[in-house]
């Protein structure tokens, strides 16, 4: 009994004409687009001798040149569409750089194309209709999706300063434990790095008595120190500034290495 397979067509001797039989013209495997188009062109001409299209003749090479032009247009059109949205494998480094420039994102060549694509997607898709946008878990999730291994902790009653968190007196020392003096770490308010309004290192900002308007970013447990590459410091701070409520200030337990 005849078995329908991927090479079956309605043009083969003994091929059944059921609904499962592919209705396509026979084709040879291994042909490129130019040869396929040339073969189709030959079928469109009349069968008279005057229209005989000899393979690799001047007439045939003219058709090949025209076909290559069509193929180039098709491929360019596809690449144009692919470069419009970072949702495909054809989205190149050059496309990343262009979209980062358009969207005001930092171009970091040390990151993979996939990481940069995801950052562009998040920027394009913002705000995504997420109602709980100011929830700490949302901020934490967005930071982790961007490749930062950090956690967000609320400052709840009784409100705590960073000194309370690590149980040391900031008034006496800035060199206790493993909290704030890792490689490349900088210090803002009260000897701790803060993120309030700027994406620059060592931002100067005083919370004063408004400790309620603060939260913490660091390791998995409150007081643990996380690590962020120094090359991504500005990118990290820009993302935090975008995500956090404007009136809040972040105390960070982070080593920038």
0.75 surpassed by pTM: no
Q: What is the pLDDT of residue 169?
A: 37
Q: What is the pLDDT of residue 166?
A: 80
For the chain, the DSSP string reads -----TT--TTSTT---STTS-------TT--HHHHHHHHHHHHS-SSGGG---TTSHHHHHHHHHHHHHHHHHHHHHHHHHTTSS-STT--HHHHHHHHHHHT----TTS-HHHHHHHHHHHHHTTTT-TTTTSHHHHHHHHHHTT---EEEE--SSP--HHHHHT--TTT-S--TTSS-STT----GGGS-EESS--SSS-----TT-GGGEEEEESSSTTPPEEE-GGGHHHHHHHHHHHS-TT-EEEE-EEE-
Domain limits, the chain? 33-82, 93-124, 133-256
Model pLDDT for residues 80-118, shown as the tens digit of each residue? 888 888 988 889 999 999 999 988 888 999 899 999 999
User: Along the 257 residues of the chain, how does pLDDT read in single tens digits?
Assistant: 667 676 666 566 666 666 665 555 555 556 677 777 777 777 777 877 777 777 788 878 888 888 888 888 888 888 888 888 898 888 999 999 999 998 888 899 989 999 999 999 888 887 677 778 889 999 999 999 999 999 999 999 899 988 888 864 344 344 444 444 444 444 333 447 899 999 888 888 888 889 999 999 999 999 899 999 999 999 999 999 999 998 999 999 999 88
Q: What is the pLDDT of residue 28?
A: 57
């Amino acid at each position: 009994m005849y078995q329908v397979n991927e090479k079956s067509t309605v043009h083969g001797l003994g091929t059944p004409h059921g609904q499962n039989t592919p209705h396509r013209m026979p084709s040879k495997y291994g042909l490129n687009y130019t040869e396929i188009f040339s073969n189709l062109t030959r079928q469109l001409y009349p069968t008279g001798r005057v229209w005989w299209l000899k393979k690799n003749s001047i007439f045939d090479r003219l058709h090949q040149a025209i076909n290559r032009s069509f193929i180039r247009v098709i491929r360019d059109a596809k690449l144009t569409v692919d470069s419009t949205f970072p949702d495909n494998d054809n989205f190149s480094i050059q496309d990343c750089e262009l979209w980062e420039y358009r969207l005001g994102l930092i171009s970091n060549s040390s990151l993979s194309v996939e990481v940069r694509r995801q950052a562009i997607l998040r920027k394009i898709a913002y705000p995504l209709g997420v109602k709980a946008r100011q929830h700490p878990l949302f901020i934490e999730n967005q930071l982790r999706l961007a490749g930062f291994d950090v956690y967000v902790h609320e400052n709840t009653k009784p409100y705590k300063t960073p000194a309370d968190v690590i149980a040391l007196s900031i008034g006496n020392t800035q060199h206790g434990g493993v909290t704030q003096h890792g490689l490349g770490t900088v210090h803002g308010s009260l000897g701790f790095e803060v993120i309030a309004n700027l994406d620059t290192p060592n931002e100067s900002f005083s919370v004063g008595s408004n400790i309620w308007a603060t939260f913490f970013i660091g390791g998995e447990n409150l007081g643990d120190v996380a690590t962020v590459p120094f090359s991504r410091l500005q990118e990290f701070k820009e993302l935090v500034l975008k995500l956090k409520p404007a009136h809040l200030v972040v105390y960070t337990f982070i080593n920038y290495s």
